[in-house]
Amino acid sequence: MSQLASITLMQNDDARPVIDSIIADNPGVKILTMPGAIKLDCEGKITVNRASVEERLGRPWNLQELHLVLISMAGNLDEDDDYFTLSWRH
Amino acid sequence: MSGTKKLGLRQRYEHMTRGLDWETTYQPMDKVFPYDQFEGIKIKDWSAWEDPFRLTMDAYWKFQAEKERKLYAVLDSFAQNNGQTGISDARYANVLKLFLTGVSPLEYAAHRGFAFTGRHLRGSGTRVACQMQSIDELRHVQTQIHTISHFNKYFDGLSEFPHMHDRVWYLSVPKSFFDDARTAGPFEFMIAVGFSFEYVLTNLLFVPFMSGAAYNGDMSTVTFGFSAQSDESRHMTLGIEVIKFLLEQHPDNLPIVQKWVDKWFWRGHRLLGIVAMMMDYMLPKKVMSWKEAWDIYFTEAGGALFQDLARYGLKMPKGAEIATAEAEHISHQNWCTFYQYTHAAPFHTWMPDNEHLDWLSEKYPNTFDKYYRPRWEQWAKMDKEGKRFYNGALVQLCQTCQIPMVYTEPGDPNTICFRETQHGGQRYHFCSDGCKDIFDNEPEKYIQAWMPVQQIFQGNCGGPTVPDVLNWYNLKFGVDNMDYAGSPDEALWNEWHADKVKAAS
Amino acid sequence: MSVQIKTINLEPKRHTFAHIARRFGEDKPASRYQEATYDVQATENFHYKPLWEPEFWQYDLGKTAVKMADWYKPMDPRQYYYATYNIARANMNQAVERNFTFVDDRGLLTKASGEAQAAIKHGLLPLRHLHWGSNMNMSEACHRGYGTAVTAPFMFSAMDHLGIAQIISRIGLVLDGQTGASLDEAKQSWLFDPMWQETRKLIEDTFVERDWFALFTAQALGVNGVLFAMYYKAMEPAWKDAGMPVSLISEFMTDWLTDESRWSDAVIKTVAAESEDNKALISGWAKNGIVRAVAAAKPLSAALLGDNGAAAEAAGAAALKKAAGLGLVI
């Protein structure tokens, strides 16, 4: 059975670079757009990479800033200074 | 420059949180933590706890302050611009009535509940996570009050929310749900609220609700909602960590945890029926149907989760299949109930119009035309003939979930489902096998329930007649209750919009 | 062609919630603090007795011996609700960040004398455990207390203690080059060093206090009023040549102490003024709390300041004087 790792973000300017970097870094990501929110799903695992967001943002970005735009998620969380990963793999 | 290197998030957090606690010696540990043994949960090693979201207080204050500055800027501008006049339709305000009387007080109860577990669980990492959730939940109730405060200035049915939460018959459904969790032991509370509610079900409450607010032009509610959700994802991580931790700590924990998961899934499913009707019937502009939300957030997301937890031997909650089947019915059965009892509830009801009926037919191809559309058409006909249908009888409530006995048998939508149990020479009634099982596992708890209908019969609710009871609720007849058509809410809305039309012409 | 703009009627139907208008005696606009606080806790028709304490409801007036006709009388003079609380703390914390950077960049702690560093390790760092214990007490008071007016600030206070424990931990991390070794050492002092044992015993005894207002009084007037007041107002000389950087970093705590007592004093004053019975009960708790805190503070001030306990006595005298100012009879 499919196991989607998932992250839902606000649809706003602060979230845009995060959304873009998730789409770029997670091949096969599925996108569900809702009013005000966007749900990104990926089979098994989905990752936000700090470096990737910084590249789009053009400034240093602390991964904990993700809290400001995060709405929901699914998967086991593994969080460090450089990445924020949700996965169903062990 | 000193030669100190920057600590990683993980190490920094451990240094600054773990190790703050110690084994007490002047008072016995079991007296300092008197509540974490009686449930039978075995914890061998609290230090194996994995901290979810390693936030130190400095970061917490910084991020939360930033969220709050943004949120209150939106609330201020919404009020200054009279955003209430720009919502899709005044019917939408009834969603907020349901929310403020039924949901916000639960946020408050969660705040106090997490203060309990934040003090009384023995592991320091766990406690810190619970304490942060405790003040987050306080945030949620307070930002909800502040957001809806502006609507309260114009719309009826909001102004008595704490009073009504303690008294109104159907609000005993959410209240008893949370009282049940609050009065359980600390581990059960964590599974009930942290795992079952926050992880498995909260998305069904907030994401569609808030997307609905956005779509219906309520920018202040969507802002508090999504801002609250950003805390919620932290809470979800706590919830999943708790269950993994308990299951990893000792194999004897599995049957206890499974029983709690079964119980709280079912109780949560019953509670969320109110969200189902909100989505399918109350949002003037609809985002998705309850059934669609259920498929995304329970069948798909819950499926992935329980597939993951299967490695500990945990099974899908009992009743999951029935709940999924009920997703085709529950919103219709609930709205039908409130439509019949519109005189006794402090929000407005209305008949779905043709366009709305067609939408429901499309979204519920298996059930709507067969079971529910004919009923709406019949009631529409009666209404047209001046015989709008009201139900004046006081109905029997389920002893566990406290919802009137309106749900149907699994697989037979034409027969009301009744279950019963004998206990201590008394007969108790239930709406489902799920609710009966919950009672049978803890009858001494559920026989205590403050059952609104029985309380009315016993004369504890202001008097024997419906007007007496409504008066005791502080419900203003003809203002807070009854159909939207003819309500002061509608009159005000029409006035705003008639003037707008005039102003433009 | 003339265009007439007609303003639509946006006169509010009501200015605040009904339960608040009843308190005011009229319908007039309420502050965000008032709307976020008044009557938010459920008060009646509870469903089940707690499995963990079946003698009470989860919200029960009987969990303290003091009696209030209305637990929404002891309001918070700071008018904190979640947003204003967090914004206030975030602002205070900006100075902490600047001060840590200042101290760290100049090596003000790491270059301090061995004597100063030892005093900090054994005399200051263990204080983080006292804050952690205070965090437990304030969480307990939030859990067991009655009415949002007092219980919400209890939780804010709990989080303050956690935040301060973390600031003190950071001092240790600066000293030990981010290894955490100093924190391990400090914990040993907390557990075994004789100068800390009265303090540890005091806080452990508060952990088993069942009356939440007695607990709050002991915490506010004893632990905060004597021990923390002595530390954040009188201890600078104990840190020798590191006195200045420690004071700089402790600015948050000094500000917090002022902020916290403004609120806790107001609560105690209001509740004591309610009745002679309340006054007598609180006076007894306050006296006991202050006396014990002075006894706990003495070995610390003697060892760290070499003053034979004079700083502790002075803090105790100030606490007693303050208690008298709150209407208590000690």
Poorest-confidence range of B112-121, B212-221, C201-210? B212-221
For the record, the structure tokens of C56 come out as 């009470």
Do residue B206 and residue A75 have CB atoms under 8 angstroms apart?
no
The gap from C-alpha B309 to its chain's centroid, in whole angstroms, comes to 24
* B278 Cα to chain A: minimum distance (Å): 17
**Do the interacting molecules here have an ipTM over 0.90?**
yes
Ramachandran angles phi, psi of B350, nearest 5°? -160, 160
> What's B298's DSSP letter?
I
Query: Are the beta carbons of B226 and A90 separated by less than 8 Å?
Result: no
Q: Coil, strand or helix: which one is B15?
A: helix
Q: What mean pLDDT, rounded, does chain A reach? A: 92
Residue B5 is predicted with a pLDDT of 56
pLDDT category of residue A32 using cuts at 50, 70 and 90? very high
Strands A45-49 and A83-87: antiparallel
Chains with ≥3 CB–CB distances under 8 Å to C: B
The pair of structure tokens assigned to C306 is 């070499």
The one-letter code for the residue type at B350 is W
Task: Give the pLDDT confidence score for residue B237 in this predicted structure.
Answer: 87
Do A79 and B53 make contact, defined as CB atoms within 8 angstroms? Answer: yes
Looking at CA atoms only, how far is residue C325 from chain B in angstroms? Answer: 32
Which residue of B6, B15, B139 is the best one to mutate when testing the C interface, meaning the one whose CB has the most C CBs within 10 A?
B15
Could you tell me which chain B residue has the CA closest to the CA of A72? B233
Best residue in B147, B179, B220, B263 to probe C by mutation, most C CBs within 10 Å? B179
User: Quick one: CA dihedral C319, C323, C324, C325, positive or negative?
Assistant: positive
Domain residue extents for chain A: 4-87
Task: Check residue B88 and give its pLDDT.
Answer: 95
- Rounded to 10°, the helix B104-120/C127-144 angle is 140
Q: How far is A80 from chain B (nearest CA, A)?
A: 6
Rounded to whole angstroms, the Cα distance separating B197 from B140 reads 15
Domain count, chain B: 1
Residue C300: per-residue pLDDT:
98
Q: What is the DSSP string of B346-401?
A: SS-B----HHHHHHHHHH-TTTIIIIIHHHHHHHHHHHHTT------SPPPB-TTT
Q: Do B135 and C140 touch (CB under 8 A)?
A: no
**Predicted local distance difference test score (pLDDT) of residue B499:** 65
Q: Which two tokens stand for residue A36?
A: 């005000």
Q: What is the pLDDT of residue A39?
A: 94
Residue C315: phi and psi, rounded to 5, are -65, -40
Count each helix (H run) and each strand (E run) in chain A, helices first: 2, 7
List the CATH number of the domain containing B173.
1.10.620.20
Q: How far is B94 from chain A (nearest CA, A)?
A: 20
Q: Is residue B199 part of a domain?
A: yes
Query: Hey, are the CB atoms on C10 and B82 less than 8 Å from each other?
Result: yes
Domains of chain C and any CATH numbers: 65-237+258-325 (1.10.620.20)
Residue B252 CB burial class (10 angstroms; 0-12, 13-18, ≥19): exposed
pLDDT exceeds 50 at position B2: no
Asked whether the predicted pLDDT for residue B85 surpasses 80, the reply is yes
CA-CA distance, C46 to C54, in Å (whole number)? 13
Residue B383 inside a domain? The answer is yes
Coil, strand or helix at C161: helix
Q: Are C250 and C127 in contact (CB under 8 A)?
A: no
Q: Which pLDDT band, with edges at 50, 70 and 90, does B359 fall under? A: very high
What are the tokens at B247? Answer: 């299951």
How far is the C-alpha of B500 from the C-alpha of C245, rounded, in Å? 64
Q: Strand B412-416 to strand B408-409: parallel, antiparallel, or no bridges (unpaired)?
A: antiparallel
Sign of CA dihedral B292, B294, B296, B300: negative
Examine the pLDDT at B318 and tell me if it is beyond 50: yes
What digits encode the pLDDT tens for the residues B383-440? 999 999 999 888 899 999 999 999 999 999 999 999 999 999 999 999 999 999 999 9
Half-sphere exposure of A7 (CA within 13 A, CB side): 29
Identify the residue among C166, C170, C187, C209 best suited for mutation to test binding to B, counting B beta carbons within 10 A and taking the highest. C166
In a domain? residue B1: no
As a whole number of angstroms, the distance between CA A38 and CA A30 comes to: 10
Determine, for residues A37 and B234 on separate chains, whether the beta-carbon distance falls below 8 Å. Answer: no
pLDDT string in tens for chain C (330-residue length): 455 555 667 899 999 999 999 999 999 999 999 999 999 999 999 999 999 999 999 999 999 999 999 999 999 999 999 999 999 999 999 999 999 999 999 999 999 999 999 999 999 999 999 999 999 999 999 999 999 999 999 999 999 999 999 999 999 999 999 889 999 999 999 999 999 999 999 999 999 999 999 999 999 999 999 999 999 999 999 999 999 999 999 999 999 999 999 999 999 999 999 999 999 999 999 999 999 999 999 999 999 999 999 999 999 999 999 999 999 998
User: Looking at CA atoms only, how far is residue B60 from chain A in angstroms?
Assistant: 10
Between CA C103 and CA C110 the distance in angstroms is 9
pTM: predicted TM-score of the whole model, two decimal places: 0.95
- Biggest CA pair distance of chain C: 92
Tell me the count of A-B CB pairs closer than 8 A: 102
Of A67, A73, A81, the CB nearest to B236: A73
| Structural domain boundaries, residue B91 | 9-504
pLDDT interval class at B199 (50, 70, 90): confident
Find, among B77, B223, B79, B488, the residue nearest to C29 by Cα: B79
* Chains C and A touch, contact meaning at least 3 pairs of CB atoms under 8 angstroms apart: no
Which superfamily does A4-87 belong to? Monooxygenase component MmoB/DmpM (3.90.56.10)
Buried/exposed code over B290-300 (b: 16+ C-beta within 10 A; e: otherwise): bbebbbbbbeb
Most B CBs within 10 Å: which of A38, A64, A82, A90, as the mutation test of the B interface? A64
> Closest partner residue to A36 among B210, B230, B311, by Cβ?
B210
Per-residue model confidence (pLDDT) at position B4 = 47
**Measured distance CA(B59)–CA(C169) in Å, rounded:** 15
Query: Residue B465 gets which letter from DSSP?
Result: S
* pLDDT tens figures, B19-61: 899 999 999 999 999 999 999 999 999 989 988 778 899 999 9
